[in-house]
Amino acid sequence: MFVGAQRYKSINQFINLTQDKKIKSNPTAGASAYCGAIDYNKLLVDHATCFSCMFCLLKDKVSYHSYMKSEYLRGEIEKRNEKLFNGSLVDTILPNLSMIAKFKSFENFTSVNETQHISPWAAGILEETSSKPVRIGLEVAVPNIEYDRPGRLDVCAITEDYLLMFEAKISLEEALSDERFIEQFQKYLSVIDDAVSAKKLPYNLILLIGGKETDLLYPDHPECTSNVGNLSKRFYKILTDYNIKFMSANSLWLMSIGYLLNGNKFSWDNFIRKIFDDEQCIGLITAGKIISSNGVFNIKSL
């Protein structure tokens, strides 16, 4: 499977590309190419080791119909569809034979190798879950004269009236190991503002985080698993101090199930845009959006 991304010299070119200018095509190997559940000789998905990342199902009708023939997989995806952002965390779908699967879970997949897993996977999901024609960019340069080295946006997706960008991290621990994302966001925002000014294009720049979703819960949530070392406390202080928004990779995964089974209500250009139009919203997880009000955090179901 492949993501239909192209080469762009800068975020300004990506945003302001006109129809008469052609960009060199550069289909980028997508996440499913590395998942271990695809037989490339036969072009078949091994449902026993598939961890249901939704990539193939969204991109290929044959994969979808084959997937839904499995009683186990069909039942598991329908269960998640009944729990979409309803206030409780939604677990991902384990491979039917996880003992022999290359990746034991979706979280396992997103927690390693940013450039070969979480970034192209997210790009592929955005490419297939838009309500309008969309262009996708990976590793789009963000040159800023105030910094020695240009930054690079991991994933960019644009429609005629909305721009979404992800800075991807494989886990909370990795994001906080050097806290580089703080500088990255500061480096990007002024350049993005200039690039969208001509079109007056609304946008969101979001930190997309893989690995254990429970690590992304606020410190006093009973299911939070990142209180050791005060990781959760540090993370939420950064979010509020620097006005950074985040999503769990699991929430994008759950949104894709919503889109697959329910249509454009869960297209990213409608769903994510609406979520982060709420100024109190600082994050999205499978339980719903995380709201910050006067230093108090809570989850609001959708």
pLDDT at 255: 98
pLDDT at 40: 62
Q: How many domains does the chain have?
A: 1
Q: What residue has token string 């620097």?
A: 242
What confidence tens digit (pLDDT) does each residue in 55-95 have? 888 987 777 888 888 888 899 999 999 999 999 999 999 98
What confidence tens digit (pLDDT) does each residue in 231-250 have? 999 999 999 999 999 999 99
What confidence tens digit (pLDDT) does each residue in 105-159 have? 999 999 988 888 899 999 999 999 999 999 999 999 998 777 666 689 999 999 9
Distance (Å, whole) CA 15 – CA 76? 38
What confidence tens digit (pLDDT) does each residue in 216-231 have? 999 999 999 999 999 9
pLDDT at 32: 46
Model-level pTM? 0.93
Partners of residue 38 on adjacent β-strands: 45
Residue 21 has pLDDT above 60, yes or no: no
Domain span at residue 102 reads 2-300
Instruction: Kindly give, in sequence order, each residue whose CB lies less than 8 Å from that of residue 205, ignoring residues fewer than 6 positions away.
Output: 153, 165, 167, 185, 188, 189, 192, 245
Distance (Å, whole) CA 289 – CA 278? 10
Distances (CA, A) of 69 to 22, 72, 102: 41, 9, 22
List of long-range contacts for 287-295, beta carbons under 8 Å, 24+ apart: 287/85, 287/86, 287/87, 287/88, 287/89, 287/90, 288/85, 288/86, 288/87, 289/85, 290/218, 292/239, 292/240, 295/240
Distance (Å, whole) CA 147 – CA 156? 21
What confidence tens digit (pLDDT) does each residue in 260-302 have? 999 999 999 999 999 999 999 999 999 999 999 988 999 999 9
Residue 19 has pLDDT above 70, yes or no: no
> Which tokens belong to 189?
């925002």
CB 80 within 8 A of CB 294: no
Q: What residue has token string 């480096």?
A: 187
CA 205 to chain centre: 11
> Which tokens belong to 207?
């930190």
